[in-house]
Amino acid sequence: MSIIEVRNLTKSYRVYRKGEGLKESVRGLFRREYSEVHAVRGIDLQVEAGEFVAFLGPNGAGKTTTLKLLSGVIDPTSGQATVMGYVPWERKDAYRRRFALVMGQKNQLWWDLPAQESYRLQQQIYAVPQDQFRSTLDELTELLEVRPLLGQPVRELSLGERMKMELIAALLHSPDVLFLDEPTIGLDVIAQHNIQQFLRYYQEKRKITILLTSHYMKDVAALCKRVVVIAGGRIEYDGSLSGIIDKFSGDKIITLQLAEGHEPNLASLGEVLSETWPKVRLKVARADVPRILSRVLTEHPIEDVVVEDPPLEDVIAGLFRETAVSQDRRSPA
């Protein structure tokens, strides 16, 4: 049995629609109009123990809603789900002690107190024995290099330092499942890299199951082998990271290093992405790569050539656009 099992899970909201202006405001006092928002539309998902899964989608796709359902923060409209054998929205204490949820845009630490005070509260909430609490805290603060900051009020920390503290708070009770919602949002490149390094090491060492949402494809490429793409509340892809490029990108990028002083017009070969002579980058159809390479090597003096897949960001963005069009076609007029 998978550690996370989801069957036909849905979540809908009834949203009040208010018109503009005083007249509509008064009218809304007596006659309100509502619309139905389908945040999650019957998804099926299985995650095995020890997997590190990326959960991707455009804004409003249903990613955060799904994590809230799996963590028991909200109740579903219909469908079933179990995590480690527990039904999340039953909110049993035994379940709460075995998972953690970290949301990059939400704080779980007391703003005006040092993080170490919040950690002691976490210890009491989760009934963590003193010896285990101390050894876990020492390990996490050493890995994340934040020991000197434990006595500093959280409000005085940088965004990257606060996220490290949030991760420590989530992991103090040694959860078996970790839900991460945009853990590197707003962080600079160095802070993102540090968080990635920590998560990779910790997951490999503890073999915990992690479900990650992120808009940073570097997070995904660095951490996850499996990718689940959700759009319009439906799962549109579930497979390997390499498979998503093979399935949704029909192009390759060819970078040519030409001989000095040789500047031919290569537009007939494909879409010219950049020209910084003597280097040219072309986007060509995957099936045309052998023919185009043969022609280029025959007709032009080439010093170097590189063939690679398009950036993951471009492939994902194209997938999002494609699924958005598909959702529009499925929606009733």
Q: Cα–Cα distance between 252 and 255 in angstroms, integer?
A: 10
Name the pLDDT band for 59 (thresholds 50, 70, 90). confident
Average pLDDT on 10-27 reads: 79
Q: Could you say which of 3.30.70, 2.60.40, 1.10.600, 1.10.10 is the CATH number of the domain covering 250-308?
A: 3.30.70
| Higher local confidence (pLDDT), 275 or 137 | 137
Q: Cα–Cα distance between 76 and 63 in angstroms, integer?
A: 14
Whether pLDDT at 32 is above 60: yes
Average pLDDT on 117-134 reads: 95
Q: Are strands 177-181 and 209-213 parallel, antiparallel or unpaired?
A: parallel
Return the minimum-mean-pLDDT range out of 118-127, 210-219, 238-247, 302-311: 238-247
For 14, 69, 103, 105, 264, the CA distances from 39, given in Å and listed in that order, are 11, 11, 18, 19, 52
Two structure tokens written together for 2: 């998978």
Return the minimum-mean-pLDDT range out of 33-42, 178-187, 279-288: 33-42
- Angle subtended at Cα 208 by Cα 320 and Cα 172, rounded to the nearest 5 degrees: 110
Question: Residues 178-225: pLDDT tens digits?
Answer: 999 999 988 989 999 999 999 999 999 999 999 999 888 889 989 999
What per-residue confidence (pLDDT) applies to 326? 64
Question: Which of 28-60 are b and which e, b meaning 16 or more Cβ less than 10 Å from the residue's Cβ?
Answer: eeeeeeeeeeebbbbbebebeeebbbbbbbbee
Return the minimum-mean-pLDDT range out of 13-22, 159-168, 323-332: 323-332
Whether pLDDT at 79 is above 50: yes
Report the interhelical angle of 159-171 vs 115-125 (nearest 10°): 20
Half-sphere exposure of 168 (CA within 13 A, CB side): 32
Q: Could you say which of 3.40.50.300, 3.40.50.720, 3.40.640.10, 3.40.50.620 is the CATH number of the domain covering 4-246?
A: 3.40.50.300
The count of residues in the chain is: 333
Whether pLDDT at 60 is above 50: yes
DSSP annotation string for 54-76: EEE--TTSSHHHHHHHHTTSS--
What per-residue confidence (pLDDT) applies to 42? 94
| Averaged confidence pLDDT in the chain | 90
Average pLDDT on 69-81 reads: 96
Average pLDDT on 268-295 reads: 90
Question: Which of 295-309 are b and which e, b meaning 16 or more Cβ less than 10 Å from the residue's Cβ?
Answer: ebeeeeebeeeeeee
Q: Domain map of the chain by residue range? A: 4-246, 250-308
User: Do the two domains 4-246 and 250-308 of this chain adopt the same fold?
Assistant: no
| DSSP H or E segment with residue 252 | strand 251-258
What per-residue confidence (pLDDT) applies to 333? 44
What per-residue confidence (pLDDT) applies to 264? 85
Name the pLDDT band for 123 (thresholds 50, 70, 90). very high
Whether pLDDT at 331 is above 60: no
Whether pLDDT at 43 is above 70: yes
Name the pLDDT band for 328 (thresholds 50, 70, 90). low
What's the one-letter identity of residue 203?
Q
Whether pLDDT at 113 is above 70: yes
Question: Residues 152-186: pLDDT tens digits?
Answer: 999 999 999 999 999 999 999 999 999 999 999 88
